[in-house]
């Protein structure tokens, strides 16, 4: 009696379960031509090939999404060996859980069934033990905790300074508060992104016949960077969370920058300052909107990681786009950093006060440095190597960048508060409103007592004036 198709599939699945890794190695090593040269080391191309294969195969095998993609590749190798290279889309669909069309795409992607079998056997059993397996950096959670504590303290001092010294909290302060909460939310999401790599085990009570292969539950460790060391469950969660973080980032950065630009706008009526604020605002808002839209439309589907067969249809060079947007943000960082410098030279201050005022405003350069490091990490991640397939270092530098921007923006207000409560100790530091030390009034361009002999541009860091 002829065997039914389902019986054949079940028999094939059972044979795969009974075929051990030692059996596979014995079969491979029978032919000397299959053996790798002594002291062989995988090239950069081989590592990239392994990472791409891990993404394609992991995303096309939902029945084994809790196993590392390296283990799933071994299953494909066993299947290919059992059918002597004659892989069939229907069988792949039945065993691994992909659609038939997706299985056909996978076979074609590897150059046909024979080529697929040869490549996946070599990758899973010969290259994989030689590939690097770097662990994930454990930096996101400590950074988030440390910066959240410090930035919360600084923001509290800033608001108290505005209330106590400047006469009230201004609109740009409230924008900074919004930026602070958005920064905390971004950082909290980054912590989740870090924790999505926790251990995950099979739920053996789930009525899925494929899980019967693992009666004790298959547990996968995901504290590794490389895609082939992660399960598709972790990869999908990590990619989707990073996608959300990338969509969220432009708006957080925009709010923080707008708070600074509004502060500068209300600080003076100089035309060049105000026009600089207009232009910079246009760049910041335009960059944020463009970045958001590019990430949404980069591929035919927004959730592109669920459609690996469409990855080559993505419309936009994502690396080039990311580098361009990050560079524009750095440009606006530099503009915002240097924008108040000419104002400091127009104020009637003692040389030491002027120097310390310049230092206070120059703290924004620290945020620029953090932005440059973030740009570097974006470039490294886009290189797509085993040590560049994690986005956690990008998360870490983004947390640093956003918090330093808030801290540096609050430095003048914190300095004013310190002078208010300890004038005899800190009077040489000047004030955020540049109070005239002789008259006690807010200084402006024209004279040392805060008045001008003739009408001219107003310069004050007290936006209420």
* pLDDT(445) > 50: no
pLDDT, one tens digit per residue, over 44-95 is 888 888 888 888 899 899 999 999 999 999 999 999 999 988 999 999 999 9
Give the Cα separation of 234 and 216 in Å (integer).
20
CB 137, CB 190: distance < 8 Å: no
Q: Is the model more confident about 289 or about 3?
A: 289
Number of domains in the chain: 2
In a domain, 283, yes or no: yes
Q: What is the pLDDT of residue 157?
A: 93
Q: Which is nearest to 98 in space by CA: 75, 128, 82, 122? A: 75
In a domain, 463, yes or no: no
Residues 32 and 75 in one domain: yes
Q: Residue 143 — very low, low, confident or very high, per pLDDT cuts 50/70/90?
A: very high
Tokens 């100089």 identify what position? 270
Residues 154 and 227 in one domain: yes
Q: Is the model more confident about 54 or about 458?
A: 54
- The stretch 280-292 carries a mean pLDDT of 94
Q: What is the pLDDT of residue 152?
A: 97
Residues 162 and 48 in one domain: no
**Which range among 197-206, 272-281, 334-343 shows the weakest confidence by mean pLDDT?**
197-206
Q: What is the pLDDT of residue 384?
A: 56
Q: What is the pLDDT of residue 463?
A: 47
Residues 122 and 214 in one domain: no
**Which range among 113-117, 369-373, 403-407, 423-427 shows the weakest confidence by mean pLDDT?**
423-427
Q: What is the pLDDT of residue 388?
A: 55
* pLDDT(129) > 70: yes
Q: What is the pLDDT of residue 349?
A: 63
Residues 56 and 164 in one domain: no
Residues 273 and 381 in one domain: yes
* pLDDT(117) > 80: yes
In a domain, 9, yes or no: yes
The angle subtended at Cα 182 by Cα 180 and Cα 186, nearest 5°, is 115
Instruction: Tell me which of 88, 112, 130 is where a domain ends.
Output: 130
Instruction: Tell me which of 77, 104, 130 is where a domain ends.
Output: 130
Q: What is the pLDDT of residue 201?
A: 38
Q: Across all residues in the chain, what is the average pLDDT? A: 79
Give the number of other Cβ atoms within 10 Å of residue 28's Cβ.
17
Q: What is the pLDDT of residue 439?
A: 39
In a domain, 447, yes or no: no
Residues 91 and 50 in one domain: yes
Tokens describing residue 151: 């930035």
Q: What is the pLDDT of residue 191?
A: 93
- Domain that residue 37 falls in: 5-130
pLDDT, one tens digit per residue, over 381-413 is 766 554 556 788 889 999 999 999 999 888 888
Q: What is the pLDDT of residue 300?
A: 84
Q: Residue 420 — very low, low, confident or very high, per pLDDT cuts 50/70/90?
A: confident
In a domain, 456, yes or no: no
Residues 76 and 168 in one domain: no
Q: Which is nearest to 284 in space by CA: 316, 252, 320? A: 252
Q: Do the bridges between strand 200-201 and strand 219-220 make them parallel or antiparallel, or are there none, so unpaired?
A: antiparallel
DSSP H/E element including 201: strand 200-201
In a domain, 441, yes or no: no
* pLDDT(2) > 90: no
Percent of the chain with pLDDT over 70: 78
Radius of gyration, CA atoms only, the chain: 30
The backbone torsions φ and ψ at residue 405, rounded to the nearest 5 degrees and listed phi first, read -60, -45
Q: Is the model more confident about 366 or about 343?
A: 366
pLDDT, one tens digit per residue, over 172-209 is 999 999 999 999 999 999 999 888 755 443 433 333 44
pTM: 0.80
Percent of the chain with pLDDT over 90: 30
Residues 64 and 25 in one domain: yes
* pLDDT(302) > 60: yes
Instruction: Tell me which of 101, 130, 159 is where a domain ends.
Output: 130
Q: What is the pLDDT of residue 367?
A: 82
Q: What is the pLDDT of residue 432?
A: 41
Residues 27 and 125 in one domain: yes
The 3-state DSSP class for residue 247 equals: helix
Q: What is the pLDDT of residue 446?
A: 29
- The stretch 425-452 carries a mean pLDDT of 40
* pLDDT(144) > 90: yes
Residues 151 and 107 in one domain: no
Question: 123: which DSSP letter?
Answer: I
DSSP H/E element including 200: strand 200-201
* pLDDT(461) > 50: no
In a domain, 440, yes or no: no
CA distances from 379 to 30, 45, 389 (A): 43, 18, 11
**Which range among 184-188, 249-253, 442-446 shows the weakest confidence by mean pLDDT?**
442-446
Residues 104 and 151 in one domain: no
Q: Which is nearest to 398 in space by CA: 420, 422, 423, 370? A: 370
In a domain, 437, yes or no: no
- The stretch 205-225 carries a mean pLDDT of 45
- The stretch 411-422 carries a mean pLDDT of 81
* pLDDT(339) > 70: yes
Q: Residue 353 — very low, low, confident or very high, per pLDDT cuts 50/70/90?
A: low
């Amino acid at each position: 009696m002829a065997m039914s198709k389902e019986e054949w599939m079940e028999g094939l699945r059972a044979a795969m379960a009974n075929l051990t890794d030692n059996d596979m190695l014995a079969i491979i090593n029978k032919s000397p031509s299959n053996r790798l040269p002594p002291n062989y080391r995988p090239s950069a191309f081989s590592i990239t090939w392994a990472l791409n294969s891990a993404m394609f195969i992991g995303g096309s095998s939902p029945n084994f999404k809790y196993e590392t993609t390296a283990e799933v590749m071994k299953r494909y190798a066993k299947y290919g060996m059992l059918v002597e290279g004659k892989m069939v889309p229907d069988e792949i669909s039945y065993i691994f859980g992909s659609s038939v069309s997706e299985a056909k795409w996978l076979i074609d992607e590897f150059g046909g069934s024979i080529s697929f079998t040869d490549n996946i056997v070599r990758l899973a059993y010969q290259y994989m033990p030689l590939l690097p397996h770097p662990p994930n950096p454990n930096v996101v959670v400590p950074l988030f905790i440390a910066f959240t504590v410090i930035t919360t303290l600084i923001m509290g001092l800033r608001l108290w300074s505005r209330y106590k010294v400047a006469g009230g909290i201004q609109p740009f302060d409230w924008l900074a508060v919004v930026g602070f909460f958005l920064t905390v939310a971004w950082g909290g999401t980054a912590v989740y992104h870090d924790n999505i790599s926790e251990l995950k085990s099979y739920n053996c009570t789930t009525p899925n016949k494929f899980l019967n292969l693992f009666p004790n539950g298959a547990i996968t460790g995901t504290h590794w960077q490389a895609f082939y060391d992660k399960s598709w469950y972790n990869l999908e969660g990590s990619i989707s969370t990073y996608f959300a973080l990338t969509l969220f980032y432009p708006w957080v950065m925009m709010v923080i920058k707008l708070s600074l630009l509004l502060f500068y706008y209300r600080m003076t009526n100089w035309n060049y300052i105000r026009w600089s604020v207009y232009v910079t605002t246009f760049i910041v808002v335009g960059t944020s909107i463009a970045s958001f839209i590019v990430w949404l439309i980069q591929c035919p589907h927004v959730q592109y990681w669920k459609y690996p067969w469409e990855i080559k249809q993505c419309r936009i060079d994502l690396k080039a786009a990311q580098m361009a947007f990050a560079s524009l943000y750095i440009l606006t960082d530099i503009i915002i950093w240097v924008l108040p410098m000419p104002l400091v030279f127009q104020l009637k201050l003692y040389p030491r006060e002027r120097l310390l005022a310049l230092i206070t405003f120059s703290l924004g350069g620290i945020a620029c440095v953090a932005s440059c490091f973030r740009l570097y990490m974006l470039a490294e991640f886009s290189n797509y190597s085993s040590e560049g397939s994690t986005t956690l270092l990008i998360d870490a530098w983004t947390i640093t960048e956003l918090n330093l921007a808030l801290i540096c923006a609050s430095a003048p207000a914190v300095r004013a508060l310190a002078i208010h409560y300890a004038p005899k100790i800190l009077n040489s530091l000047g004030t955020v409103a540049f109070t005239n030390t002789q008259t006690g009034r807010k200084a402006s361009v024209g004279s040392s007592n805060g008045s001008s002999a003739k009408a001219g541009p107003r310069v004050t860091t007290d936006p209420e004036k």
